[in-house]
Amino acid sequence: MSTHTEAGHHGPAKGISRWILTTNHKDIGTMYLVFSLIMLFIGGSMAFVIRAELFQPGLQLVMPEFFNQMTTMHGLIMVFGAVMPAFVGLANWQVPLMIGAPDMALPRLNNLSFWILPFAFSMLLATLLMPGGAPDFGWTFYAPLSTTYAPPSVTFFIFAIHMMGISSILGAINIIVTIFNMRAPGMKMMDLPLFVWTWLITAFLLIAVMPVLAAVVTMMLMDVHFGTSFFNAAGGGDPVLFQHVFWFFAHPEVYIMVLPAFGIVSQIVPTFARKPLFGYHSMVYATASIAILSFIVWAHHMFTVGMPLVGELFFMYSTMLIAVPTGVKVFNWVSTMFRGSMTFETPMLFAIAFIVLFTIGGLSGLMLAIAPADFQYHDTYFVVAHFHYVLVPGAVFGIIAGVYYWLPKWCGKMYDEKLGQWHFWLSFIGVNLTFFPMHFVGLAGMPRRIPDYALQFADFNMLTSLGAFLFGTTQLLFVYILIKTVRKGKPAPQLPWDGAKGLEWTVPTPAPYHTFATPPVFGDK
Active site residue 300: yes
- Sign of the CA dihedral with 334 first, then 402, 276, and 329 last: positive
- What number is the average pLDDT over the span 58-71? 92
Lowest mean pLDDT among 208-212, 405-409, 492-496: 492-496
- Sign of the CA dihedral with 168 first, then 104, 19, and 37 last: positive
The catalytic position among 30, 32, 36, 74 is: 74
- What number is the average pLDDT over the span 5-21? 68
C-beta of residue 258 within 8 angstroms of C-beta of residue 359: no
Active site residue 388: no
Taking only Cα atoms into account, the Rg of the chain, rounded to an integer number of angstroms, comes to: 23
The catalytic position among 32, 255, 389, 453 is: 255
Name which of 26, 33, 27 is nearest 402 in CA terms: 33
The catalytic position among 51, 162, 275, 301 is: 301
DSSP secondary structure of 345-391: -HHHHHHHHHHHHHHHHHHHHHHHHSHHHHHHHTTBHHHHHHHHHHI
Separation between Cα atoms, residue 164 and residue 169, nearest integer Å: 9
Active site residue 448: yes
pLDDT digits (tens, 9 = 90+) for 427-459: 999 999 999 999 999 999 999 999 999 999 999
Separation between Cα atoms, residue 144 and residue 232, nearest integer Å: 6
Separation between Cα atoms, residue 65 and residue 150, nearest integer Å: 12
Residue 142 exposure: Cα atoms within 13 Å on the Cβ side: 9
The catalytic position among 103, 223, 345, 374 is: 103
The catalytic position among 198, 271, 326, 485 is: 326
Active site residue 423: no
The rounded mean pLDDT for the chain is 92
DSSP secondary structure of 102-170: SS-S-HHHHHHHHHHHHHHHHHHHHGGGSTT-S--STTTT-TTTTTTS--TTHHHHHHHHHHHHHHHHH
Separation between Cα atoms, residue 8 and residue 17, nearest integer Å: 12
Report the alpha-carbon angle 460-461-467, nearest 5.
90
* Cα separation of the two ends of the chain: 22
Active site residue 326: yes
pTM: 0.92
Residue 9 confidence (pLDDT): 45
| 180 φ, ψ (degrees, to nearest 5) | -75, -35
Report the alpha-carbon angle 293-258-250, nearest 5.
60
Residues whose CB falls within 8 Å of the CB of residue 164, separated by 6 or more in sequence, listed in order: 80, 116, 117, 120, 121
Active site residue 168: yes
The catalytic position among 27, 223, 253, 312 is: 253
Q: Answer whether residue 156 shows pLDDT above 50.
A: yes
C-beta of residue 344 within 8 angstroms of C-beta of residue 272: yes
- What number is the average pLDDT over the span 17-36? 95
The catalytic position among 51, 183, 275, 300 is: 300
Annotate 115-129 with b (16+ C-beta within 10 A) or e (fewer). Answer: ebbeebbebbbebee
Q: Answer whether residue 515 shows pLDDT above 70.
A: no
Separation between Cα atoms, residue 340 and residue 335, nearest integer Å: 9
pLDDT digits (tens, 9 = 90+) for 178-205: 999 999 999 999 999 999 999 999 999 9
Active site residue 386: no
- What number is the average pLDDT over the span 507-514? 41
Distances (CA, A) of 251 to 245, 384, 454: 10, 15, 32
Residue 513 confidence (pLDDT): 42
Residue 494 confidence (pLDDT): 87
Separation between Cα atoms, residue 409 and residue 403, nearest integer Å: 10
pLDDT digits (tens, 9 = 90+) for 310-361: 999 999 999 999 999 999 999 999 999 999 999 999 999 999 999 999 999 9
The catalytic position among 18, 274, 409, 448 is: 448
Residue 264 confidence (pLDDT): 98
Separation between Cα atoms, residue 341 and residue 308, nearest integer Å: 53
Residue 495 confidence (pLDDT): 87
Q: Is the peptide bond before 512 cis (omega within 30 degrees of 0)?
A: no
Active site residue 244: no
Residue 38 exposure: Cα atoms within 13 Å on the Cβ side: 11
Residue 487 exposure: Cα atoms within 13 Å on the Cβ side: 6
Q: How confident is the model at residue 11 (pLDDT cuts 50, 70, 90)?
A: low
pLDDT digits (tens, 9 = 90+) for 111-145: 999 999 999 999 999 999 999 999 999 999 999 99
Q: How confident is the model at residue 505 (pLDDT cuts 50, 70, 90)?
A: very low
Q: How confident is the model at residue 462 (pLDDT cuts 50, 70, 90)?
A: very high
Active site residue 504: no
Active site residue 25: no
- What number is the average pLDDT over the span 103-116? 96
The catalytic position among 25, 51, 162, 251 is: 251
Q: Answer whether residue 237 shows pLDDT above 70.
A: yes
Report the alpha-carbon angle 173-177-180, nearest 5.
140
Active site residue 2: no
- What number is the average pLDDT over the span 279-299? 97
Q: Answer whether residue 27 shows pLDDT above 70.
A: yes
The catalytic position among 65, 115, 139, 191 is: 139
Q: How confident is the model at residue 497 (pLDDT cuts 50, 70, 90)?
A: confident
Q: Please give the DSSP secondary-structure letter assigned to residue 489.
A: P
C-beta of residue 46 within 8 angstroms of C-beta of residue 7: no
Residues whose CB falls within 8 Å of the CB of residue 425, separated by 6 or more in sequence, listed in order: none
Active site residue 425: no
Residue 504 confidence (pLDDT): 41
Q: How confident is the model at residue 12 (pLDDT cuts 50, 70, 90)?
A: low
Residue 409 confidence (pLDDT): 92
Q: How confident is the model at residue 15 (pLDDT cuts 50, 70, 90)?
A: confident
Name which of 213, 242, 262 is nearest 90 in CA terms: 262
